[in-house]
């Protein structure tokens, strides 16, 4: 069965130059996949007409082409003009839309204390659409647009991710897009997430379990210390997927920590919440990253009390009660320091559970005995303690990121008493 094919064209000179990371491409691709389409290609181009024309001509060779960017009021914004050209349509001013954009621009003019005359050309331009196109309304000053080009439904959305995500649901409700989605039967999704075993072992277990194919497509992705197996399941292959999942559980059960999409921070907070436990972190090399990840989850205040980032050694002493003798004898990067940091923050912040991280993030600060990447973790709670020493590869960013993930997984293991191996 051939699913409708989706292509994505993201425009923006700062994107094609690598000055900014694109977020719209991954968002639209994941949406296409979720809706049962086959995301085939994401293309990023700048704002040169010849590049846009080429990208659109290539992108329109699909059932659904999702375009973002280049809808602003300036002369550099060429998306609508070139979409129209490739689709063989004239450009027409939509007067009702023009009045709508005028109103928004008038407010902006007032707020910026600029004469409205400066906005007129831009307003007219943004109200100019390919003939026959459907307007999705405004999120900023530019409307989203849907049109058809030679069998391809084209959705054009603004570049700013927030505006794009506001208009996206309206695109899904439009008739042309609905007709494409009707041809895309739902696909099942399964996820299995493992921790403490290498990617190669998971790949091998998947092969032994029967592997890819016959309506089940598997992707294996290593992310910090987690190995994610994601299955996309055609409607008639649910039974096969069940067998695959069962066999993977059998082979790697001790490393399996989740079968849903929750982040490790969400999992940890849910574990605390369901046990009515509060949580605090004591951080050094991670510098607040563990706390930041936990607090990125809405509702984290149910369980999370706070954190002490004790970057300087004196702060480990004064704020966490780490004994000076421990710092002198074992150093700030040691199992003993981690243990005292965990005990100290638990007491000071009145938390039931705590995790401490101390290590050498690099590039500086290393010694022969304590190289870059050496990290000590300690988690402490009502049910006991867990401690780990890990030796991480990579640069500062990688060491900090992985240490953060390892700390969260250590709390998970403390709370579930899951004594699996690994970092």
CB of 417 to a second copy, least distance (A): 26
What residues have CB less than 8 Å from 376, skipping those under 6 apart? 333, 334, 335, 337, 338, 357, 358, 359, 387, 388, 389
Instruction: Mark the segment that binds a second copy (CB under 8 A) among 107-115, 175-183, 250-258, 411-419.
Output: 107-115
Task: Please give the residues from 220 up to 249 whose contact with a second copy meets the rule CB under 8 A.
Answer: 221, 223, 228, 230
Q: Which of 103, 107, 239, 312 binds a second copy (CB under 8 A)?
A: 312
CB of 218 to a second copy, least distance (A): 10
The two tokens of residue 288 are 């607040």
Q: Does 39 bind a second copy (CB under 8 A)?
A: yes
> Is residue 78 a contact partner of residue 49, using CB atoms and an 8 Å limit?
yes
CB of 179 to a second copy, least distance (A): 23
Burial 175-211 (b: 16+ CB within 10 A, else e): ebbeebeeebeebeebebbbbbbeeeebeebbeebee
Q: Is 178 helix (H, G, I), strand (E, B) or coil?
A: helix
Task: Please give the residues from 194 up to 213 whose contact with a second copy meets the rule CB under 8 A.
Answer: 198, 200-201, 203-204
Q: Does 170 bind a second copy (CB under 8 A)?
A: no
Q: Does 114 bind a second copy (CB under 8 A)?
A: yes
Q: Does 350 bind a second copy (CB under 8 A)?
A: yes
Instruction: Rank residues 89 and 370 by Cβ distance to a second copy and give the closer one.
Output: 370
What residues have CB less than 8 Å from 118, skipping those under 6 apart? 109
**Which run of H or of E encompasses 65?**
strand 64-68
CB of 330 to a second copy, least distance (A): 19
Query: DSSP assignment, residue 362?
Result: S
The DSSP code sequence of 96-132 is: HHHHHHHHHHHHHHHHHT--GGGGHHHHHHHTEEETT
Q: Does 43 bind a second copy (CB under 8 A)?
A: yes
Q: Does 307 bind a second copy (CB under 8 A)?
A: yes
Instruction: Rank residues 24 and 133 by Cβ distance to a second copy and give the closer one.
Output: 24
CB of 99 to a second copy, least distance (A): 21
Q: Which of 176, 288, 321, 422 binds a second copy (CB under 8 A)?
A: 288
Instruction: Mark the segment that binds a second copy (CB under 8 A) among 166-174, 236-244, 381-389, 396-404.
Output: 396-404
Q: How many residues does the chain have?
A: 423
CB of 92 to a second copy, least distance (A): 27
Number of residues that bind a second copy (CB under 8 A): 93
Q: Does 299 bind a second copy (CB under 8 A)?
A: yes
Stretch 125-144: interaction string toward a second copy, x if CB under 8 A: --------------------
What residues have CB less than 8 Å from 88, skipping those under 6 apart? 149
Q: Which of 21, 276, 325, 417 binds a second copy (CB under 8 A)?
A: 21
Q: Which of 35, 42, 97, 156 binds a second copy (CB under 8 A)?
A: 42
Q: Does 71 bind a second copy (CB under 8 A)?
A: no
Task: Please give the residues from 356 up to 395 whose contact with a second copy meets the rule CB under 8 A.
Answer: 361-365, 394-395
What residues have CB less than 8 Å from 372, skipping those under 6 apart? 360, 361, 362, 363, 365, 366, 399
Query: ∠ at Cα 189 (187, 191), nearest 5°?
Result: 165
Instruction: Mark the segment that binds a second copy (CB under 8 A) among 8-16, 177-185, 251-259, 334-342.
Output: 8-16
Instruction: Mark the segment that binds a second copy (CB under 8 A) among 106-114, 125-133, 179-187, 246-254.
Output: 106-114
Q: Which of 176, 188, 210, 287 binds a second copy (CB under 8 A)?
A: 287
CB of 32 to a second copy, least distance (A): 8
Burial 51-84 (b: 16+ CB within 10 A, else e): bbbebbebbbebbbbbbbbbbbbeeebbbbbbbb
Strand partners, 10: 44, 68
CB of 90 to a second copy, least distance (A): 28
What residues have CB less than 8 Å from 220, skipping those under 6 apart? 199, 202, 203, 206, 227, 228, 229
Beta strands in 168-276 (DSSP E): 188-195, 216-223, 226-233, 256-258
* CA 221 from centre of chain: 14
Instruction: Rank residues 28 and 375 by Cβ distance to a second copy and give the closer one.
Output: 28
Q: Which of 4, 35, 44, 82 binds a second copy (CB under 8 A)?
A: 44
Q: Which residue has the tokens 């949580």?
A: 279
Q: Which of 219, 274, 367, 416 binds a second copy (CB under 8 A)?
A: 219
């Amino acid at each position: 069965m051939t699913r409708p094919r989706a292509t994505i064209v993201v425009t923006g000179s700062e994107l094609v130059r690598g000055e900014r990371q694109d977020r719209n491409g991954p968002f639209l691709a994941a949406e296409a996949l979720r809706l049962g389409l086959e995301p085939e290609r994401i293309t990023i181009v700048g704002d040169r007409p010849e590049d846009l024309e080429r990208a659109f001509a290539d992108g329109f060779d699909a059932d659904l082409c999702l375009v973002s960017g280049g809808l602003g009021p300036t002369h550099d914004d060429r998306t609508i003009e070139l979409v129209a050209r490739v689709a063989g349509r004239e450009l027409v001013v939509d007067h009702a839309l023009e009045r709508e954009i005028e109103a928004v621009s008038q407010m902006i003019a007032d707020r910026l204390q600029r004469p409205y005359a400066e906005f007129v050309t831009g307003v007219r331009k943004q109200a100019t659409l390919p003939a026959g196109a459907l307007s999705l309304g405004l999120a900023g000053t530019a409307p989203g647009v849907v049109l058809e080009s030679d069998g391809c439904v084209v959705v054009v959305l603004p570049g700013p991710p927030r505006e794009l995500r506001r208009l996206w649901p309206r695109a899904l409700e439009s008739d042309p897009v609905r007709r494409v989605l009707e041809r895309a039967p739902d696909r099942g999704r399964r996820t299995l997430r493992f921790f403490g075993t290498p990617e190669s072992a998971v790949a091998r277990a998947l092969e032994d379990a029967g592997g890819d194919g016959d309506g089940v497509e598997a992707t294996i992705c290593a992310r910090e210390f987690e190995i994610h197996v994601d299955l996309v399941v055609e409607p008639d292959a649910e039974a096969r997927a069940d067998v695959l999942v069962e066999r993977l559980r059998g082979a790697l059960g001790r490393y399996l920590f989740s079968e849903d999409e929750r982040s490790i921070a969400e999992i940890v907070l849910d574990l605390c919440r369901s046990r009515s436990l509060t949580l605090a972190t004591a951080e050094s090399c991670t510098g607040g990253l563990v706390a930041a990840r936990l607090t990125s989850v809405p509702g984290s205040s149910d369980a999370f009390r706070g954190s002490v980032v004790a970057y300087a050694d004196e702060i480990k002493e004064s704020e966490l009660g780490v004994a000076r003798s421990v710092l002198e004898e074992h150093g700030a990067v040691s199992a003993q320091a981690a243990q005292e940091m965990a005990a100290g923050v638990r007491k000071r912040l009145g938390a039931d559970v705590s995790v401490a991280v101390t290590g050498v993030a690099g590039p500086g600060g290393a010694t022969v005995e304590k190289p870059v990447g050496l990290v000590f973790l300690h988690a402490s709670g009502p049910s006991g303690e867990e401690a780990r020493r890990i030796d991480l590869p990579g640069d500062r960013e990688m060491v900090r990121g992985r240490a953060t993930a390892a700390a969260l997984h250590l709390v998970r293991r403390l709370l579930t008493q899951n004594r699996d191996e690994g970092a």
